């Protein structure tokens, strides 16, 4: 009980303090997630020793379930934040990022992991898959708020939001394939992967999320037309049906992360309450209330002694993955979407593909299947490096993009008016 009360006091203080200083933090060299992680590290076993996940139960189970819940809340906020016009105009780059982009990031991360850590083929592919998804929670700290709206065009903010929201769930198929190949014979692994991961996990989650999001929008509209509700809050309603989607997806053995994002996207598409979507400031504050504690938990769980035992290969892996995992892939793809995004946009997206809560979730998921801590030991170092480095570079590179935005692509020129209205 003491651990719970200490945790509540610390996490509440972190969320309140960051909310009060949010404008200042956006302009500073540090990000909100990095502050929360460092506070977690300070109060954890390697700092003051106030909190220890081992005293809460199975640390990997705590990480998996906390990350799963955090992703659900974060993804719903991302889905509701996207503009319909932007999604239509950016369909090509988003589709390329979710196919060739994800595949390239997976393979590059896996090759680097296998080379520097001496991992076997499927072990390297699993670690690469864990590191593949762009984190929507860390990305939101870069593309939301007054500072981002003043310096980044809507086309860039919504591309990163849509990609990070979608590829968290789609990474499930990349993660499950090596897990099954390690734990089963090749024939069994492939059949189970196609049935459980692709068909049930991804396609089933997409269908489930689409149905829930569509009916949630229609039910809300019907209730208002018939005066069945005295007053509604989009925020409370969206959180409620995101939790419904997450729980139902788990019961049906589908990918809850993808189901929640699709549900939010469909609700956004079919909702008749567009004016309520401007409650973004309130949504952002509530999202922080849910997401910042996850970064504190991550800081508490950091395995610093295991990082030391892995030594310099882990350091070089972190450095090379941050430099090579994403930027070369996106610069090669840039000519294919030049009608929607320019080269400066591609360079910004190439750097800001943060690794965060999605990777925490998949690393814990890998441990629950294989009971091998090496995935957490390596992945946690990469997540920490990404949160810190992307946090430090966010403000200066955002200002640099604002000073040199490049030409406005023809397919997204009409989005400039929306950016000015914000």
Cβ atoms within 10 Å of 118's Cβ, excluding its own: 10
Cα angle, residue 268 at apex, residues 264 and 274 outer, rounded to 5°: 140
Residue with tokens 């996940």: 53
Q: How is residue 135 annotated by DSSP?
A: P
pLDDT (mean) for 28-49: 89
Instruction: Please tell me the distance from the alpha carbon of residue 295 to that of residue 387, in angstroms, as a whole number.
Output: 10
- What length does the chain have? 422
pLDDT (mean) for 5-30: 80
> Is 379 a member of any domain?
yes
pLDDT tens per residue across span 359-395: 999 999 999 999 999 999 999 999 999 999 998 898 8
Q: Is residue 166 a contact partner of residue 79, using CB atoms and an 8 Å limit?
A: no
pLDDT of residue 86: 86
Residue 80 has pLDDT above 70, yes or no: yes
> Is 320 a member of any domain?
yes
Residue 179 has pLDDT above 50, yes or no: yes
| Residue 19 CA, distance from chain mean position | 20
Instruction: Please tell me the distance from the alpha carbon of residue 296 to that of residue 17, in angstroms, as a whole number.
Output: 13
CATH code at 277?
1.20.1530
Q: Is residue 296 a contact partner of residue 312, using CB atoms and an 8 Å limit?
A: no
> Is 58 a member of any domain?
no
Instruction: Please tell me the distance from the alpha carbon of residue 264 to that of residue 259, in angstroms, as a whole number.
Output: 9
> Is 273 a member of any domain?
yes
> Is 44 a member of any domain?
no
Q: Is residue 79 a contact partner of residue 35, using CB atoms and an 8 Å limit?
A: no
> Is 41 a member of any domain?
no
Instruction: Please tell me the distance from the alpha carbon of residue 358 to that of residue 379, in angstroms, as a whole number.
Output: 11
pLDDT (mean) for 151-176: 92
Q: In 144-279, which residue ranges form alpha helices assigned H by DSSP?
A: 146-151, 154-183, 186-192, 204-225, 234-251, 256-270
pLDDT tens per residue across span 94-134: 999 999 999 999 999 999 999 999 999 999 999 999 999 99
Residue 274 has pLDDT above 80, yes or no: no
- Inter-CA distances, 177 with 36, 234, 256, 355, Å: 33, 37, 18, 20
pLDDT (mean) for 278-302: 75
> Is 43 a member of any domain?
no
- The range of the structural domain enclosing residue 101 comes to 68-138+151-421
Question: Is the pTM for the entire model greater than 0.85?
Answer: yes
pLDDT of residue 420: 47
Residue of 359, 5, 365 whose CA lies nearest to 167: 359
Residue 296 has pLDDT above 90, yes or no: yes
Structure tokens at 402: 């604002």
> Is 14 a member of any domain?
no
Give the distance between the most distant pair of CA atoms in the chain.
Answer: 65
pLDDT tens per residue across span 196-246: 999 999 999 999 999 999 999 888 888 877 777 665 566 677 788 889 999
**Domain total in the chain:** 1
Residue with tokens 């990349």: 174
């Amino acid at each position: 009980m003491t651990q719970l009360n200490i945790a509540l006091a610390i996490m509440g203080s972190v969320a309140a303090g960051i909310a009060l200083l949010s404008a200042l933090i956006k302009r500073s060299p540090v990000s909100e997630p990095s502050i929360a992680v460092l506070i977690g590290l300070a109060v954890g076993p390697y700092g003051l020793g106030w909190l220890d996940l081992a005293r809460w139960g199975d640390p990997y189970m705590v990480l998996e379930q906390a990350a799963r819940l955090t992703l659900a809340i974060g993804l719903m906020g991302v889905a509701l934040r996207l503009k319909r016009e932007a999604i239509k105009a950016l369909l090509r780059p988003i589709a390329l990022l979710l196919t060739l982009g994800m595949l390239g990031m997976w393979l590059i991360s896996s090759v680097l992991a296998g080379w520097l850590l001496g991992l076997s083929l499927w072990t390297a592919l699993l670690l690469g898959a864990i590191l593949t998804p762009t984190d929507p929670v860390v990305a939101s700290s870069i593309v939301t708020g007054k500072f981002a709206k003043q310096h980044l065009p809507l086309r860039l903010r919504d591309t990163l939001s849509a990609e990070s929201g979608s590829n968290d769930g789609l990474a499930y198929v990349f993660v499950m394939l090596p897990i099954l190949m390690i734990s089963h014979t090749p024939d069994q692994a492939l059949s189970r992967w196609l049935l459980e991961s692709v068909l049930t996990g991804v396609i089933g989650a997409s269908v489930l999320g689409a149905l829930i999001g569509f009916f949630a929008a229609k039910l809300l509209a019907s209730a208002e037309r018939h005066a069945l509700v005295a007053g509604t809050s989009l925020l409370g309603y969206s959180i409620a049906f995101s939790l419904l989607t997450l729980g139902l997806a788990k019961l049906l053995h589908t990918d809850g992360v993808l189901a929640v994002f699709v549900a939010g996207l469909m609700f956004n598409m079919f909702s008749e309450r567009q004016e309520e979507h401007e409650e973004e400031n309130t949504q952002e504050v509530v999202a922080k209330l849910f997401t910042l504690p996850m970064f504190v938990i991550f800081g508490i769980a950091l395995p610093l002694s295991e990082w030391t035992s892995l030594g310099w290969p882990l350091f070089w892996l972190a450095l090379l993955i941050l430099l090579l995992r994403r930027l070369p892939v996106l610069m090669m793809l840039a000519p294919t979407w030049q009608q929607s995004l320019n080269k400066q946009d591609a360079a910004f997206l190439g750097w800001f593909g943060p690794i965060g809560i999605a990777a925490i979730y998949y690393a814990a998921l890998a441990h629950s299947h294989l009971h091998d801590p090496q995935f957490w030991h390596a992945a946690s170092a990469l997540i920490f490096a990404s949160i810190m480095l992307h946090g430090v570079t966010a403000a200066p590179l955002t200002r640099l993009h604002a000073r040199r935005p490049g030409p406005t692509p023809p397919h997204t020129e009409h989005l400039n008016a929306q950016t000015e209205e914000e």
